[in-house]
Structure 1
């Protein structure tokens, strides 16, 4: 029995898809090389639709969820790459570019494997519990660390309330004056370390808030001050910091929060979907 490719499945179901699902499907067909690495949220953002729409597309095509659909995308993409390799002898220039790509991906693979080995699950669950129980969560990230901090802030805000974030250049006293002993402060700090992280940590420490550090090593400046320190590519001599390892670690935290607090999260997301629909935020 022939197994349909992703392209064939989309074509067969295209006429019955919603406008938003069609946009997501078109993005996947045109950018399969990107889709193999993207989360449902990222696919939706690139396609101009919601994460929910991407997940509904997976259901509409007969998959059990987004993960299974992405596996099919990945298999089709790899099969296409293999066929291209069989049919075309690469030039020296193309071979050099492919080697560069392979080196980068291999390095990321090593970092993610190291992340799997080094993460302390007990510390992860401490962080997850703190983020669920906190009356207020403040996320701090400065300079280049702000990118990961904002991703976490935006994602966390979808599943709980009272989440706030610094600017890339610092934080205002008015933003942190309401921190309490029941609050959690998540601070991102990667080389080169910014002084603002220590100022924020000192303020949070004075208020008795729990500090969760997301950093590259246990003994980084912020790592030494935090109640919980979660590290990414510790012991890896990569020459640069891997954003992939940071996002992977954050996705684990988000998944843990969703597992532990799913009833409250489901209610919040239902309320958000109503607001999104009322304000017509998404083009779908």
Structure 2
């Protein structure tokens, strides 16, 4: 049981009856709560909406939003230890591992709305819609999400750059300006190359959008716009699996949001590219 759920269980008998009903519902259905509003939770618990806020304060958390973030962090780190080295202690069959991978990826995606701030996301879409140049950068597992963003936004007609070579991007950043956007992807938010390039891009007037964990990392503090992913993996792991899924989900949502704004202007180019793909099939 996660530390937050354990705290609720320990407080349960000391809570007033109405708050105890909320605690009991959460203990039975922890995975449902991150996507609920206070109204949803009060209705499912059979109590008034104000009781939800009192419950949060009773267990030492100031708001329902903060409570959900703590719950997401605890649930995901408890359930998604698939990529830490303890996996070697379990003798899973290949198909068992397939099922676990499917589960942790699904859970990571479902946890993402609880960590992502709606206003920050809408700011990111607005900035991207009015940008002329985009630069995507990530290293390790995060490089996959950066490459996916580069691929998708190039299809929308943007001048995009993505490269694994740090020095190559150092030579490209001086050409950025106030209508440029640097999209930095980093799970930990502590990767030195990502931070150095983000700071350089910001100094040239570009807007820095960070796709990073909800923990207040150096990148979180440096960026102009922060798109937070839930903490679904430890830094020390055998590979990026659920964390990569959260990053790709945000990239997909940004792409579709901008496509909705600009799609009519590029639909002919989409059809033209598709026709060529069909013609050149071998």
Distance 1:228 1:119 in 2: 11
RMSD (Å) for aligned C-alpha atoms: 2.7
Contact 2:189 2:218 in 1 (8 A): no
Distance 2:169 2:119 in 1: 33
Could you state the TM-score of these two structures normalised by the residue count of structure 1?
0.58
Distance 1:255 1:247 in 2: 12
Question: Aligned with 2:109: secondary structure?
Answer: helix
- 1:214 counterpart = 2:211: yes
2:127 to 126, 130, 136: 130
Contact 2:135 2:183 in 1 (8 A): yes
Could you state the TM-score of these two structures normalised by the residue count of structure 2?
0.59
Displacement of 1:185 after TM fit? 0.7
Distance 2:92 2:223 in 1: 46
Distance 2:274 2:215 in 1: 39
Q: Which residue of 2 aligns with 1:202?
A: 199
Identify the range of structure 1 (199-208 vs 108-117) with the bigger mean alpha-carbon deviation.
108-117
Distance 1:177 1:275 in 2: 35
Distance 2:173 2:99 in 1: 44
Contact 1:137 1:162 in 2 (8 A): yes
Distance 1:274 1:105 in 2: 35
Distance 1:172 1:98 in 2: 41
Q: Which residue of 1 aligns with 2:78?
A: none
For residues 79-100 of structure 1, the C-alpha deviation after alignment (integer angstroms, 9 at most, x for no partner) is xxxxxxxxxxxxxxx9844433
Q: Aligned in 2, Cα 1:109/1:209: closer, same or farther, shift over 3 Å?
A: same
- 1:186 counterpart = 2:177: no
Displacement of 1:276 after TM fit? 5.6
Q: Which runs of 5+ in 2 are unaligned?
A: 1-90
Distance 2:130 2:191 in 1: 28
Q: Which runs of 5+ in 1 are unaligned?
A: 1-93
Displacement of 1:254 after TM fit? 0.9
Distance 1:268 1:203 in 2: 34
Distance 2:214 2:167 in 1: 22
For residues 204-250 of structure 1, the C-alpha deviation after alignment (integer angstroms, 9 at most, x for no partner) is 1111211001112251221211111112233x356664222221121
Q: Which residue of 1 aligns with 2:222?
A: 225
Correspondence list, 1:148-163, <5 A: 148-163=145-160
Q: Which residue of 1 aligns with 2:103?
A: 106
Q: Which residue of 1 aligns with 2:250?
A: 249
Contact 2:189 2:213 in 1 (8 A): no
Q: Aligned in 2, Cα 1:98/1:144: closer, same or farther, shift over 3 Å?
A: closer
Identify the range of structure 1 (109-118 vs 181-190) with the bigger mean alpha-carbon deviation.
109-118
Question: Aligned with 2:220: secondary structure?
Answer: coil
Question: Aligned with 1:219: secondary structure?
Answer: coil
Q: Aligned in 2, Cα 1:192/1:220: closer, same or farther, shift over 3 Å?
A: closer
Aligned residues: 188
For residues 245-275 of structure 1, the C-alpha deviation after alignment (integer angstroms, 9 at most, x for no partner) is 2211211111101111121221432454466
For residues 18-46 of structure 1, the C-alpha deviation after alignment (integer angstroms, 9 at most, x for no partner) is xxxxxxxxxxxxxxxxxxxxxxxxxxxxx
Q: Which residue of 1 aligns with 2:162?
A: 165
